[in-house]
Structure 1
Amino acid sequence: MSDILVIGGGIIGLLTARELVQGGAAVTLVELGETGRESSWAGGGIVSPLYPWRYPDSVTALARWSQRLYPKLCADLTAETGIDPELTANGLLILDPQELEPALAWAATHGTEVQLIDSVQLHEAAPELAVRPPTAMLLPAVGNVRNPRLVKAARRALEGRIALREQEEVHAILAADGRVAGVRTSRGLIQADQVVVCTGAWTARLLDPLGQRPDIAPVRGQMLLFKGRPGQINYTTLWREHYVIPRRDGRVLVGSTLEQTGFVKEATAQGRESLQRAAVELYPHLAHTPIEAHWAGLRPGAPGGIPYIAPVPGTAGLYVNAGHYRNGIVTGPASARLVADLLLGRDPVTDPAPYALDAPRLSDGGAGASSLRSGR
C-alpha cells in the first residue's frame, strides 16, 4: 500500500505526486484516461491569470509563487526527461483601454512591472497587429509554456517513481469510522490511509456521496491552432477576453470560449468561427494561415476562481486539490506544494485558509459552478 493515493492525472495531480515523492512519500496515481489529456492539455499555457487584477489575492498568491518557480521547474523537467516544456517569456500584451486603471493599481500593490506603450511604439513592437489603442500595456515578465509538453515531461519524470495506473476509473472513495480507507475502481479496491482528489471538473461528483460537494462545475473552452511561421507574432496578446499565443515553432494558439454546457466537451462550428474572427481582428495575416486543429476542454470552475486545496471535513486523511478554473497551469506548482505541505505535516508555503472547503468565496470574482462572469 502506498503512503498516499492521488486521484487524477492532470497537471495538478502530476505536480502533486511530484511534490509528494520529493517529500519522501510512496505515491500511487490513478487516472481515468491518459494523464494530462483533459483541461491541462486543452488550455493555452499562459503563466499568468488573464487580467490578473480581476482575481482575489488568494489566487494572486498562488500565481506569483508559481511564476517564481517555473524557470527551475521547467529546467529540472528538461534535464530529467529530455522534454522541454518550452517556457518562453515573450510578455503579455493587453489592449483593452478600460483595464488600464485597475491594472496599474494592482501592479502597484503587488510590485509587478507594467509597461505603457503608445500606438507608435506598439506599431514598432508588433507590426502585424491591427488593433492599436492609444495606450497598451505590456507585462514583460509573463511567459507561456507549451502545456502538452509540460504534462508529458511531468509524467515522464514520475515514471518508475510512483505506481501509475491509467485507464482506471475511480467509482467511489471509501471511508470507515470517519477516516478514508481507499477507493473502489473499475479494477478493484485500492487501500490508502491518505487520498488527495485532483479530478478537476469531476471533483464534485466524486466527493458528493461523502456529503462534501465543493462548488466546482465544468466550463467549456474551445481553442484554435494556426500553423504559422516563426517570428510573425511577437507577444502573447490579450484583447476583449480572447488571447493569441505564439509558439516557438510558429504555431499560433487562439482562445477561448466560455460556455456552460455541463460535461459536453465537443467543439462547435460556432466556437471555431468566433475564435477565428477574434484572431483575424487582431492579426489579419491569420486569415490566410491554415488552421491546424480545433478542440475543446472542460475547465473546473469555482466561485471567485479560488481553488479548493484542503482537507475534506469529516473524513480524516482525505484532501482535495481542484477547482483552478483557467489557472491550473499558472497556479499548479504552488497548489501542489501547499497540498503536499498539508499532507506531510510541513509548514504551509502560503496561508491555506482561503482554499478550505468552507472558506468564503466571492460569487462574482471568477467563473464557477454558481456564477459565470464574462472574461474570468
Structure 2
Amino acid sequence: MSHTERGRRVTLVDAPAERPPASWAGGGILAPLFAWRYPAAMNRLTVDGPGRYRALVSSLTGYAGLREDDLCDSGLWVEAAGEECRRALDWARDWGQRCEPRALAAAWPEAADRDGVWFPEVGNIRNPRLLKALRARLADQGVRTVRDRAVALDPMGRGATVVLAGGERLSAPSVLVSAGAWSSSLLSPLGVSVPLFPAKGEMLLYRLAPGRVPTIVLTENGYLIPRADGAVLAGSTLKEGDDSTHPTEEGRRKLEAMAASILPALADQAPEHHWAGVRPGCGRDWPYLGEVPGTRGVFAAVGHHRNGLVSAPASAEFLVQLMNGETPFLDPADYSLVASPS
C-alpha cells in the first residue's frame, strides 16, 4: 500500500537526472543472485518478491505503456554442483520455494552444458519500464514531485525540514531518506553511520528471436536475462567505489566472453547496446530500514545494493507500517540504523 491509500499527502523530492538511475544497473531478476548465500534478514524481504511483483504489475498495467508481459515468467536456472547444489535445494525447502536439480542442456539444448538448479517461479521485470509506470501512477494519485536535490535535513519535534539545493525548504511530520549511495551526506549530520558506497555495473543487450533464450541463466561469472520481445541482457560487472557511468571496453569484453560461454552463438553476434549504472552499495548483505536514531518521524531506506528491486515491495510495506505507527510484519531490530560513535 502507498501512503496515498492511507490518506496521506506525499511529496517526492527527486534530483534532476545527472546519471542513469540505479535501475539501469540491474537486470530485474526477481530473486537475489544465489539467494542461499544471503542472511535470513535479506531473504525475508525477497522470498515472496515474484508474487508481489505480479500483483504490482497487474495494478500498474497501462500506466506509461507498461504491459503484463514486461514481467517475464522465464524461470531461473542457477549454476550449482555438488555441495552448492545441496545448499540450494536445502534453502529452497526451508523457504518454501519450488526448486529442482536440472542440467542446463535439459532446459536449453543450445546452451553450453553445466549442472545447476531450476527455480520455475522466478522471473524478471523490465525495471526501467516499471519505474516509468510507478511515476505515472503516483502522479495520477496526486503525489507531488519536486525536481531538486536534498542537501540537508533539519529535524523538528516531529519530522524534519528538507533543505533543497535551490533554496526551498519543505517541512513534513514524516520524512523518508532513500538517496542510494549518496544517502550518507544526509544521514551523517544526524549522527548516523551507514557503510554505503557507489558500485558501478555494466550491461549489454543482445537482440534475438523471442524465446531463443528460454530462461534466466545465472553463473558465477554473470547472467543472461530474456525479455518477452527477444531482448536479452548480459550482466553484469561490479566495481565497488566507482560512481562513473561511462561503459568501458574492458567491461564489454568481459561481458561478451561471459555471454558466449553460456550461449556459444553469441560469440558471432555484436550486442545492440552497452551501458553502465551505479548501484547503492552497502557494507552488509541486507539493507538498513527504519527510524533514524535520535529523531521522531525521520526514516531511512538505504543499502539495498544488488537486491533493491526484488526487495523493494517488502521494504516499502515495512516502512509504511513503521511510518504510520502500525505493527510491522518484520522485526525492526533486524534492520535498524546505527548511531555513530560519540
TM-score normalised to structure 2 length: 0.92
Partner in structure 2 of residue 314 of structure 1: 294
The structure-2 alpha-carbon separation of the partners of 1:26 and 1:221, relative to structure 1 and needing over 3 Å to count, comes to: same
The code of the aligned residue for 2:80 comes to D
Distance in 2, Cα, partners of 1:65 & 1:355: 18
Summarize the alignment of residues 49-128 of structure 1 with structure 2, pairs less than 5 Å apart: 49-79=32-62, 82-84=65-67, 86-97=70-81, 99-118=84-103, 122-128=104-110
Distance in 2, Cα, partners of 1:224 & 1:353: 39
Task: Please tell me whether the aligned partners of residues 73 and 124 of structure 2 are also in contact (alpha carbons under 8 angstroms).
Answer: yes
Distance in 1, Cα, partners of 2:30 & 2:135: 19
Out of 238, 245, 258, the position equivalent to 2:238 is 258
Q: How much does 1:80 deviate?
A: 5.2
Q: Which runs of 5+ in 1 are unaligned?
A: 1-17, 360-376
Secondary structure, in 3 states, of the residue corresponding to 2:46? helix
* Cα root mean square deviation, aligned: 2.0
Summarize the alignment of residues 182-193 of structure 1 with structure 2, pairs less than 5 Å apart: 182-187=161-166, 188-193=168-173
Moved over 3 A (4+): 34-37, 79-82
Q: Which runs of 5+ in 2 are unaligned?
A: none
Secondary structure, in 3 states, of the residue corresponding to 2:44? helix
Distance in 2, Cα, partners of 1:89 & 1:309: 29
Aligned length: 335
Task: Please tell me whether the aligned partners of residues 84 and 153 of structure 1 are also in contact (alpha carbons under 8 angstroms).
Answer: no
Distance in 2, Cα, partners of 1:35 & 1:139: 37
Task: Please tell me whether the aligned partners of residues 173 and 180 of structure 1 are also in contact (alpha carbons under 8 angstroms).
Answer: no
Secondary structure, in 3 states, of the residue corresponding to 2:209? coil
1:31 aligns with 2:14: yes
Q: How much does 1:136 deviate?
A: 2.1
Partner in structure 2 of residue 203 of structure 1: 183
Distance in 2, Cα, partners of 1:186 & 1:174: 14
The structure-2 alpha-carbon separation of the partners of 1:20 and 1:282, relative to structure 1 and needing over 3 Å to count, comes to: same
1:55-104 residue CA offsets vs partner (Å, 9 max, x unmatched):
11111111123332211111110055542261111111112325212111
Distance in 1, Cα, partners of 2:242 & 2:189: 19
Summarize the alignment of residues 1-376 of structure 1 with structure 2, pairs less than 5 Å apart: 19-34=2-17, 37-79=20-62, 82-84=65-67, 86-97=70-81, 99-118=84-103, 122-130=104-112, 132-133=113-114, 135-160=115-140, 161-166=142-147, 168-176=148-156, 179-187=158-166, 188-358=168-338
Task: Please tell me whether the aligned partners of residues 95 and 136 of structure 1 are also in contact (alpha carbons under 8 angstroms).
Answer: yes
Distance in 2, Cα, partners of 1:330 & 1:149: 15
Identical-residue share of aligned pairs (%): 38
Distance in 1, Cα, partners of 2:3 & 2:49: 17
Secondary structure, in 3 states, of the residue corresponding to 2:265? helix
Q: How much does 1:349 deviate?
A: 2.4
Task: Please tell me whether the aligned partners of residues 31 and 49 of structure 2 are also in contact (alpha carbons under 8 angstroms).
Answer: no
Partner in structure 2 of residue 11 of structure 1: none
The structure-2 alpha-carbon separation of the partners of 1:335 and 1:264, relative to structure 1 and needing over 3 Å to count, comes to: same
Q: How much does 1:337 deviate?
A: 0.6
TM-score normalised to structure 1 length: 0.84
Task: Please tell me whether the aligned partners of residues 25 and 200 of structure 2 are also in contact (alpha carbons under 8 angstroms).
Answer: no
44-53 vs 279-288, which deviates more?
A: 279-288
1:215-274 residue CA offsets vs partner (Å, 9 max, x unmatched):
121111111111222121101001114110011111110111111234233221111110
